């Protein structure tokens, strides 16, 4: 099942973002450190063009440190791009953001040339929490659901440093299927866009090899050495039994078991986890683009065939109904 979620207010956000970018010097993109590739908005990359970018891997305290370093190295190797890790709840992140942005646009400083920075990110990536930390009060609504922030705001981190905040925004079509499931698992898409059981099964399929030890410890699974080889359905069922998600008659309530797995991932009860590496994202993206090109090719062939059926006539013109 492909997962996509682009409600009406995101169209408004896109238009506002395009206008704001006209006067922007640096773009901060807040990413989820547990899924740094899937939480990077490809539409934002197109809109921002060659403007300097600061990739902030937020929620680093919930992510796998070794994989976080892989992502920092990968983003820092890109032109006009810098990357830093961050926990949105840390007490004084402002100076780190200011220093990193000034390094990307050293020509913008002083009251006559203030540094104008736009901060963007997908829904539920922790941007509202970060903004509240920056201003030192609860200025933005926060929550564990996508689409909480709906308005733009500006704060001054210094006399010549203007930071513009925008609502969280996804993109109209998520072509990498794995990314769709990772975004759903993190809470970046609305609840009506996915099925808990499907997301939990995909999540277990991702975790069972690199993080088998964490699954075994959290759910006290039997034969932990075989977790990586087990079928996802069987794994979800065993977790449901271990956690008491059993209905009358002894049948496992898979919907409840799925909720448990998703909640444990989001809350980091499973441990420090990162769902993807730069190499994996590049592979998935290449495969998705190839599949999309093939779909478009087949669609064009079908359209041409249908056009031929509708508009085609026998050679020699229309047959005379009298048979002459």
pLDDT digits (tens, 9 = 90+) for 195-246: 999 999 999 999 999 999 999 999 999 898 999 999 999 999 999 999 999 9
Residue 155 forms beta bridges with which residues? Answer: 163
Structure tokens at 230: 């087990």
**Cα separation, 91 vs 130, whole angstroms:** 10
Of 142, 165, 188, the residue that ends a domain is: 165
Q: Are residues 153 and 206 in the same domain?
A: no
Whether 253 contacts 245, CB under 8 Å: yes
**Cα separation, 128 vs 142, whole angstroms:** 6
Domain harbouring 225, CATH code = 1.10.1580.10
In a domain, 5, yes or no: no
Successive 10-residue mean pLDDT values, the chain, 324 residues = 63 80 93 97 87 96 97 96 86 86 94 94 87 68 43 82 86 89 93 92 97 96 93 96 93 96 97 98 95 91 84 52 47
Q: Are residues 144 and 198 in the same domain?
A: no
Q: Are residues 100 and 198 in the same domain?
A: no
CA 236 to chain centre: 24
**Cα separation, 164 vs 154, whole angstroms:** 4
**Cα separation, 54 vs 125, whole angstroms:** 15
3-state helix, strand, coil in the chain (%, to 5): 45, 10, 40
Residue 118 forms beta bridges with which residues? Answer: 27, 164
In a domain, 320, yes or no: no
**Cα separation, 29 vs 39, whole angstroms:** 10
**Cα separation, 278 vs 70, whole angstroms:** 7
In a domain, 96, yes or no: yes
Of 144, 165, 186, the residue that ends a domain is: 165
Q: Are residues 40 and 124 in the same domain?
A: yes
DSSP state of 193: G
- Count of the separate structural domains present in the chain: 2
Q: Are residues 137 and 190 in the same domain?
A: no
In a domain, 282, yes or no: yes
Domain harbouring 100, CATH code = 3.40.50.300
What pLDDT is attached to residue 208? 96
Residue 190: domain span: 174-302
Q: Are residues 123 and 268 in the same domain?
A: no
**Cα separation, 25 vs 105, whole angstroms:** 7
Residue 82 forms beta bridges with which residues? Answer: 54
In a domain, 130, yes or no: yes
Question: pLDDT tens, 167-184?
Answer: 878 887 889 999 999 999
What pLDDT is attached to residue 160? 93
Q: Are residues 128 and 224 in the same domain?
A: no
Q: Are residues 156 and 182 in the same domain?
A: no
Burial of 232 (0-12, 13-18, 19+ CB in 10 A): middle
At 297, give phi and psi (nearest 5°): -65, -45
**CA–CA distances in Å: residue 84 to residues 35, 61, 275:** 15, 13, 19
Q: Are residues 140 and 17 in the same domain?
A: yes
Q: What is the pTM of this model?
A: 0.85
**Cα separation, 95 vs 114, whole angstroms:** 16
Whether 170 contacts 123, CB under 8 Å: yes
Whether 130 contacts 86, CB under 8 Å: yes
Return the exposure string of 132-144: e unless at least 16 CB atoms fall within 10 Å of the residue's CB, then b: bbbbeeeebebee
Q: Are residues 278 and 144 in the same domain?
A: no
Average predicted confidence (pLDDT) for the chain:
87
What pLDDT is attached to residue 58? 95
Listed residue (2, 56, 11) closest to 170, CA to CA: 11
In a domain, 208, yes or no: yes
In a domain, 105, yes or no: yes
Whether 38 contacts 281, CB under 8 Å: yes
At 147, give phi and psi (nearest 5°): 80, 30
In a domain, 288, yes or no: yes
The continuous run of DSSP H or E covering 232 comes out as helix 232-242
Task: Kindly give, in sequence order, each residue whose CB lies less than 8 Å from that of residue 222, ignoring residues fewer than 6 positions away.
Answer: 238
Q: Are residues 151 and 203 in the same domain?
A: no
Q: Are residues 197 and 293 in the same domain?
A: yes
Of 165, 194, 209, the residue that ends a domain is: 165
């Amino acid at each position: 099942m492909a997962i996509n979620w682009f409600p009406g207010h995101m169209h408004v956000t896109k238009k506002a973002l395009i206008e704001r970018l006209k006067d922007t010097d640096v773009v901060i993109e807040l990413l989820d450190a547990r899924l740094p590739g899937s939480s990077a908005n490809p539409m934002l990359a197109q809109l921002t063009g060659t403007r300097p970018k600061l990739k902030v891997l937020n929620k680093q305290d919930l992510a796998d440190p070794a994989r976080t370093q892989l992502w920092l190295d990968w983003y820092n190797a890109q032109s006009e791009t810098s990357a830093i890790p961050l926990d949105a709840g840390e007490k004084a992140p402002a100076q780190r953001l200011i220093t990193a942005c000034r390094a990307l646009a050293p020509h913008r400083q002083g009251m006559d040339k203030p540094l104008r920075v736009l901060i963007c990110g997908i829904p539920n990536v922790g941007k509202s929490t970060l903004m509240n930390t920056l201003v030192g009060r609860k200025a933005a609504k926060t929550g564990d659901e996508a689409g909480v922030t709906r308005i733009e705001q500006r704060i001054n981190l210094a006399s010549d440093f203007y930071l513009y905040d925008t609502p969280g925004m996804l993109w109209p079509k998520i072509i990498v299927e794995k990314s769709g499931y990772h975004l759903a698992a993190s809470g970046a898409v609305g609840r009506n866009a996915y099925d808990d059981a499907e997301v939990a099964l995909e999540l277990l399929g991702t975790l069972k090899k690199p993080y088998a030890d964490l699954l075994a410890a959290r759910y006290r699974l039997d034969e932990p050495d075989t977790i990586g080889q087990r079928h996802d359905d069987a794994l979800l069922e065993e977790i449901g039994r271990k956690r008491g998600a059993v209905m009358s008659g002894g049948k496992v309530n898979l919907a409840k078991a799925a909720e448990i797995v998703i909640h444990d991932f989001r809350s980091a009860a499973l441990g420090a986890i990162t769902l993807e590496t730069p190499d994996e994202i590049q592979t998935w993206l290449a495969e998705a683009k190839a599949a999309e090109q093939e779909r478009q090719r087949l669609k064009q062939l079908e359209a041409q065939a249908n056009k031929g059926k509708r508009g085609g006539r026998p050679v020699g013109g229309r047959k005379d109904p009298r048979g002459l």
